[in-house]
Structure 1
């Protein structure tokens, strides 16, 4: 008989007369992940129809000149892919039809590979000062307290782009001055490097490139607030090269693309334009080696390879599950009222309106966008559902396309996998266990996790005891909502979460969640009451619920 450790805690939230604020654990599966081999397959028809409408209506972006490839992957395989070839694609130079093997530039999605390369180097401490590995920054006031983690987390305050996108290069002087009112005869300060412009000349060496970081003022003091910086990831790449004694190109190949079995199309090597999708004229910005900028935006890839990379992350093929969990944590927050966060280097979206049967709640989506010129890309994962997404776009003004496509992928897929998981849990876990004075009934309702419909010990409701020990005058036992959630580790499940009455969630506390305060709080004679062990039979169906703290072993009725 298999045993899976689950934990429960009373989630006492709102009164029955009010909308219940469950506050489930964030960013992890709220139910055991479904067995997709026996689950209904994801039906692509509605998503394909929605993408076809995007293409025909051409409202959000110009589908005549914009080609794209998108995919959805689980831990097992790619379950959806779709490719659109723009009618105006340049077939004399690039491919005539895009598919999973078409080469796209992925620009800033490169940052994921650079950061992951650092995390994979045994002995490299992500909290080292950058000056330890990039001695040219020794003594620089801008970088004296900057760590590798801060570079990777958008918290270094490093310059964004330097001279690369200086607006004095963006048009004829007459246009800049007469039409926009910008100063005439403006000159670059003495000593400021102008060699890092991708369009007008690249720096010959890293030392030359670093002059821009040394001379420029920081955007914000280090560690204060997130500020997107391409310079930061170039410098992180230098640190990796210094530590390993190898080029970043080789480090990525040895640490990531090689172990995952990706093709030679994925990496920092420039690709033959004949293998790429070319939106119009051959864009040197999209096809050339960008020199010192490679660590932040230099990579190429194919849709198949990018999906394989994302699947490797979901399966912990490169990082352990613990290290992967640490990587998928915010480093800071933006000013978004939805709680959008910034990671290393993730942008963490938290939409609350995905139309889930389990109710509306924030769903954490870890994303990394990239784009410049004619090429944009997205790589994204949702840890709660173990889903991954890729978007590759080639076209003029393709940023709206990028966002619209990822939005479609998420909205059409997450509800399906949410429902599949709930149905399997309803079949294998829901039911009544025990009898007489000691029993528990588990159900799947319209909220997250498994709801404990009733639970007694010694003929008394467990919720009464919980309210007695942990409740307040504002909370009656009848109001308590009790749920259990699995926390997966080596096929064991444990820990539970409980909340408090919404009577204490007013004013500045209106959107606060308190469930995390109570993890593991309820002990009785040294053992957890808010912990359950659910034993499974050979067919995967639960046969017994054990509660260590209550000394209960409740067989399925």
Structure 2
């Protein structure tokens, strides 16, 4: 249940300079592309990814060098869109080890079951949101966990320890949000991975004789029961103060599993089946190990961790799922089938920065920021357990996602390298596809002949739709805006989708600026000026497109002018 990301920023550093003066808002710069399957840029990206994966599994990739063991490591990859019911791209590789295995599958496909490790954390938070909404994230953990409530009470009553914040967690201050967003500051685990329980004498390496070895949590000692977990956890020191910095903790999500069961008076396994498996038809998502015949089991069930019982730590990293299950879950999240649209959007936001500008943390999203023509956020959750690694990735700007599962040797490095390679290709391709489709749907000349009014909308090297010309009642509005704002040159007017839409209408917001006026190195501040210029209670930046049954624009309304211009070319 470890997570390691390769630094991703450097190879996109040049791309970030392309549109540094445009400063688009956070979010998509074009409407979501609906025809990725037929788009040329996306098709080229798929071919590139397929060739890269061929090189990886052949052991000829510079991404991994000799790290990928083609004889032992199997791989499953899907790319998909919310606009398509089937994957847009599939890639499966079955290692010779698996092909000759006497247990489990001998041919990897989308129904092959893997352990998904810490990707289980995502499902734990999702179950909490489905059952109780996000209001409960403000609850203090002592409300739901009696062991921690007792610990907090004892701390309050101890005149010495109550002020000792170095050795004692301030449990009564800890919220469920702190746990879900990796901001609790508590220890990573109890028992799991403790060197004192490894059975190896470490005194020869300079370590003292341990005063106490955890009685549980290891391969040899078995899982901790609830009493053992809290007894051990309460003896551990905090790593940081609460909400100080993100630090990865499996214990956070074991506690959240207990909280979820207390809130609902239902077992985690029952909730998993009721809220996700049944509604989404997930055939292979399970709490406990399914029959061996469904799974990929490198070597044997014990060595691979296939059969290792993770007990109460399952909400943190013990679930099983197939590629199809993970893809179906991701599609349901982006389609708002599990939460309301507003609820989903609140969930899919960063909760904290990390020490890297291109990496943030959510609940419990691991958010990668890729600078292209603007910053594209990729919401991921990875997981590692034994011989297994997994990753679900969602790109909300494009209603697009990917699933990567691996089993064998060095799977964490394999999944991270595949992610890095795919994003380098996919993010620019998805932007190109969205731009190409937007050009077909929205660009053109819109007119209102009786008032001599018109707008010319194009696409160019910059992001969004470009308002190239705008005349209202024979007056050049772009020139008028420049005069009103005191610009020394004609302003740039670029339109970006707002996310507000009806069945036959799509709203855009205009970012109006004088290009080149923003000093280099100064952060974009255009979000400050949205709706800042208003005439008659309507924003100068409000634009509304009318769409036909195919989703193509037939008219546009610069709403401040109280007129509708129809597409003439």
Q: TM-score range by the shorter chain?
A: 0.7 to 0.9
Question: How far apart, CA to CA, are the structure 1 residues paired with 2:300 and 2:514?
Answer: 61
- 1:154 paired with 2:185, answer no
Question: How far apart, CA to CA, are the structure 1 residues paired with 2:553 and 2:429?
Answer: 24
Q: Which of 201, 215, 218 in structure 1 is aligned with 2:222?
A: 201
Written as runs of structure 1 = structure 2, the 5 A alignment for 1:110-259 is 110-122=120-132, 125-138=136-149, 139-140=151-152, 141-170=169-198, 172-173=200-201, 176-178=202-204, 181-188=205-212, 194-204=215-225, 206-259=226-279
In structure 2, the residue corresponding to 1:477 is in which secondary structure?
coil
Question: How far apart, CA to CA, are the structure 1 residues paired with 2:522 and 2:245?
Answer: 23
TM-score with structure 2 setting the length: 0.85
Question: How far apart, CA to CA, are the structure 2 residues paired with 1:337 and 1:160?
Answer: 24
1:490, distance to aligned residue in structure 2 (A): 4.3
Q: Which of 461, 477, 480 in structure 2 is aligned with 1:462?
A: 477
Runs of 4+ in structure 1 deviating by more than 6 angstroms, as ranges, are: none
TM-score with structure 1 setting the length: 0.87
Q: Which residue of 2 aligns with 1:10?
A: none
1:147, distance to aligned residue in structure 2 (A): 1.1
Q: Which residue of 2 aligns with 1:88?
A: 97
1:501, distance to aligned residue in structure 2 (A): 5.6
Question: How far apart, CA to CA, are the structure 2 residues paired with 1:62 and 1:528?
Answer: 59
1:423, distance to aligned residue in structure 2 (A): 2.2
Structure 1's 373 and 273: CA in aligned 2 closer, same or farther, altered over 3 A? same
Structure 1's 283 and 352: CA in aligned 2 closer, same or farther, altered over 3 A? farther
Q: Which residue of 1 aligns with 2:115?
A: 105
Question: How far apart, CA to CA, are the structure 2 residues paired with 1:160 and 1:465?
Answer: 60
Structure 1's 250 and 538: CA in aligned 2 closer, same or farther, altered over 3 A? closer
Q: CA RMSD of the aligned region, Å?
A: 2.4
Q: Which of 430, 435, 459 in structure 2 is aligned with 1:417?
A: 430
Structure with the bigger percentage of helix: 2
Q: Which residue of 2 aligns with 1:438?
A: 453
In structure 1, the residue corresponding to 2:279 is in which secondary structure?
coil
Structure 1, residues 166-192: CA drift from partner, whole Å, max 9, x if none? 12344631xx333xx332312228xxx
Does the 8 Å CA contact 1:499/1:514 hold for their aligned counterparts? no
Q: Which residue of 2 aligns with 1:534?
A: 545
Structure 1's 19 and 100: CA in aligned 2 closer, same or farther, altered over 3 A? closer
Question: How far apart, CA to CA, are the structure 2 residues paired with 1:553 and 1:458?
Answer: 13
In structure 2, the residue corresponding to 1:221 is in which secondary structure?
coil
Unaligned runs of 5+ in 2: 1-16, 153-168
In structure 2, the residue corresponding to 1:552 is in which secondary structure?
coil
Q: Which residue of 2 aligns with 1:351?
A: 370
Question: How far apart, CA to CA, are the structure 2 residues paired with 1:504 and 1:450?
Answer: 20
- 1:548 paired with 2:554, answer no
Structure 1's 92 and 511: CA in aligned 2 closer, same or farther, altered over 3 A? farther
- 1:277 paired with 2:296, answer yes
Question: How far apart, CA to CA, are the structure 1 residues paired with 2:544 and 2:251?
Answer: 50
Q: Which of 423, 427, 440 in structure 1 is aligned with 2:440?
A: 427
1:238, distance to aligned residue in structure 2 (A): 0.6
Question: How far apart, CA to CA, are the structure 2 residues paired with 1:334 and 1:500?
Answer: 33
Q: How many residues align?
A: 517
Unaligned runs of 5+ in 1: 1-16, 354-359
Q: Which residue of 2 aligns with 1:389?
A: 402
